[in-house]
């Protein structure tokens, strides 16, 4: 099976984004995509197994139960493009179902090189599947794959987990519309959406008893230390999960435990923190199942089918490009 990865160096963009986010006059923030370096990706794999975090297991249950139905709804031949593949564990069911009917090209798009390598290892044993990985941002990777589209080939784009929830509701529709503009009518997008659930359950999921999510969040500061020569003292920051009721989201923040100054030479930045001031690192928006249908229409898709896990309210939505 042919396997290769196409890479770029993101460091200059990292420094620029850190500078822009931490120099903000009001709420300091850092893009959540930077949580997923090699260490962060490994920590997130651990999070996905924690009893408090049922999202990944719900995602996997739906894919195991409905992979055959999903594949049977797709035209042939179809190539699979996954935006944010992670380890690829969840994708196995879809690829195995497809491999029983056709030779399949699988294009994982992932910004973490370690996650991309793990994905290739996880899925390289599936017969009739060829893997070409792209170490890229989501839309950049999708554009590159689109340029390789073969005559008569359809696309199935996978955007699994709750990654769409990292966007606010307006931005999520904008993102889906950009994906749609890269696709052709009849192409499909399988979209994972985490659904509304009790507040206490959400807070436990994003602030687990073992502190793995806290380590995942704090690793972002450690990454800035490693890659940008900063001097964050991790012991002086604490992970905080909070509910934003207006946005219907869970937010992750890193709170400064005291007044302090942090130097980030590679970003040309010296940052003052007040005691209690936070860095906003991630949001995870939650949905009602019925709101996915108008959201899809606004982005140029039709939500053809929706499968819902009742144990941990979560939906897989099959969107067809119109």
Rounded Cα distance between 264 and 226, Å, is 10
Please, are residues 67 and 93 in contact by the beta-carbon 8 Å criterion? Answer: yes
pLDDT band per the 50, 70, 90 thresholds, residue 5 = very low
When pLDDT is averaged across residues 235-240 and rounded to a whole number, the result is 98
Q: Which of 11, 55, 2 is nearest to 223 (CA)?
A: 11
Residue 6's pLDDT band (cuts 50, 70, 90) = very low
Q: What is the pLDDT of residue 50?
A: 97
Portion of the chain with pLDDT greater than 70, in percent: 97
Please determine, for residue 1, whether its predicted confidence score (pLDDT) is greater than 60.
no
Q: Are 247 and 286 in contact (CB under 8 A)?
A: no
What contacts 201, CB < 8 A, 6 or more positions away?
none
What's the confidence (pLDDT) of residue 86? 86
In the chain, the DSSP E strands lie at 3-6, 28-29, 78-83, 104-109, 129-134, 154-159, 188-194, 237-244, 249-256, 260-264, 269-273, 278-285, 301-309, 314-321
Note the pLDDT tens digit of each residue in 266-297.
999 999 999 999 999 999 999 999 999 999 99
What are the backbone dihedrals phi and psi of residue 258, each rounded to the nearest 5 degrees, phi first? -155, 170
Hey, what domains does the chain have and what are their CATH numbers?
55-197+287-321 (3.40.50.150)
Distance, in Å, from the CA atom of 81 to the CA atom of 133, rounded to the nearest integer, reads 10
Q: Give the pLDDT score at 240.
A: 98
**pLDDT score at 36:** 92
Q: What is the mean pLDDT of residues 206-219?
A: 98
Average pLDDT along the chain: 94
The β-bridge relationship of strands 249-256 and 188-194 is unpaired
How many CB atoms sit inside 10 A of residue 226's CB? 12
Sign of torsion over alpha carbons 194, 144, 183, 77:
negative
**Whole-angstrom distance, CA of residue 250 vs CA of residue 319:** 25
> What pLDDT is recorded for position 87?
86
Burial class (CB in 10 A: 0-12, 13-18, 19+), 108: buried
């Amino acid at each position: 099976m042919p396997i290769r990865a196409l890479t770029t160096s993101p460091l200059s963009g990292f420094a620029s984004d850190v500078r822009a986010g931490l120099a903000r006059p009001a709420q300091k923030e850092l893009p959540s995509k930077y949580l997923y370096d090699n260490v962060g990706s490994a920590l997130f794999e651990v999070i996905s197994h924690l009893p408090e975090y049922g999202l990944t297991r719900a995602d996997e249950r739906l894919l195991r139960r409905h992979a055959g139905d999903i594949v049977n709804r797709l035209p042939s031949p179809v190539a699979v493009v996954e935006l944010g593949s992670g380890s690829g564990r969840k994708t196995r069911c879809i690829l195995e179902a497809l491999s029983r009917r056709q030779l399949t090209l699988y294009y994982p798009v992932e910004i973490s090189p370690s996650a991309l390598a793990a994905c290739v290892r996880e899925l390289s044993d599936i017969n009739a599947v060829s893997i070409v990985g792209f170490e890229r941002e989501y839309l950049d990777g999708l554009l590159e794959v689109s340029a390789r589209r073969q005559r008569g080939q359809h696309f199935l784009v996978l955007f699994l987990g709750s990654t769409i929830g990292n966007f606010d509701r307006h931005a999520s529709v904008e993102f889906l519309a950009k994906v749609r503009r890269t696709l052709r009518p009849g192409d499909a997008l399988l979209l994972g959406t985490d659904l509304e659930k009790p507040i206490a359950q959400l807070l436990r999921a994003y602030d687990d008893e073992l502190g793995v999510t806290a380590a995942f969040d704090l690793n972002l500061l450690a990454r800035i230390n490693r890659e940008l020569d900063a001097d964050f003292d991790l012991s002086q920051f604490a992970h905080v999960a909070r509910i934003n009721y207006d946005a219907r989201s869970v937010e992750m923040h890193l709170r400064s435990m005291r007044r302090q100054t942090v130097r980030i030479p590679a970003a040309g930045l010296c940052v003052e923190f007040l005691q209690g001031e936070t860095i906003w690192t991630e949001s995870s928006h939650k949905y009602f199942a019925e709101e996915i249908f108008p959201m899809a229409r606004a982005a140029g898709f039709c939500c053809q089918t929706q499968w819902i896990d009742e144990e941990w309210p979560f939906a897989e939505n099959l969107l067809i490009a119109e």
